Amino acid sequence: MAQKKISMKYRRGVSQIIGSLIVLALVASVGSVILFQGLNQINAFNYDLTFHDREHSEALREDILFEHVKFDPNSNALSIYLANIGSIDSNIATLTVVKIDTQELLLAWSDVDAIDGAIPIEDHTVIITNVTLPGLNKWNQTNYNNTKDDNYKISITTSRGNFFDTVATPYDT
């Protein structure tokens, strides 16, 4: 039995320092793999956000002003004079006209041609369109031009999804 104690006393093994170094190397290698994967995911997320923020900030820089609305009394033509007062080019995508008091939809999401709807920065354009007017199909009829209370809400939508609107009346004094 005494010999067994002696062999245990002189037994060779891995010292605590070497063991700690091996564990540290394992943890560092696995940790670095996890760290680099996480950094790659963060970079991919930031890359996606730059595209989202750019489109969002461009939409915020868009501003359209209704300069004038002209109702041709002898036809169903409607001329809308628009000015781009924003800091980015705008493209008008759709146009809607609603008679306010009756909620009659005279022009429903009509697509605007790319040539007519493009408005460069600090420039203006005229959009001429025909609306659907029951009866004589003219603005100069009693249903559509008889009092100052005949107001029409004209709304435009840009290609970036912004909405701009105004209220106009064809009443002549």
CATH of the domain at 91: 2.60.40.10
Residue that is last in its domain, among 24, 45, 60? 60
Distance CA 67, CA 117 (A): 15
Query: Domain total for the chain?
Result: 2
> What's the predicted TM-score (pTM) here?
0.65
Q: Are residues 156 and 90 in the same domain?
A: yes
Q: What is the predicted pLDDT for the residue at 173? A: 46
The SS3 call for residue 154 is strand
- The residue type at 77: A
Q: What is the predicted pLDDT for the residue at 27? A: 93
Distance CA 166, CA 82 (A): 11
Segments forming the whole domain that contains residue 49 = 2-60
Q: Are residues 164 and 89 in the same domain?
A: yes
Distance CA 92, CA 119 (A): 8
Q: In a structure prediction context, what are the per-residue pLDDT tens digits for the chain, which is 173 residues long? A: 555 555 555 656 668 888 889 999 999 999 999 999 999 999 988 887 777 666 677 778 899 999 999 998 888 899 999 999 998 999 888 899 998 888 888 888 877 776 677 889 889 999 998 888 887 888 887 777 666 677 899 999 998 889 999 999 886 54
Residue 173 lies in a domain: no
- Write out the H or E segment, with its range, that includes residue 77: strand 77-84
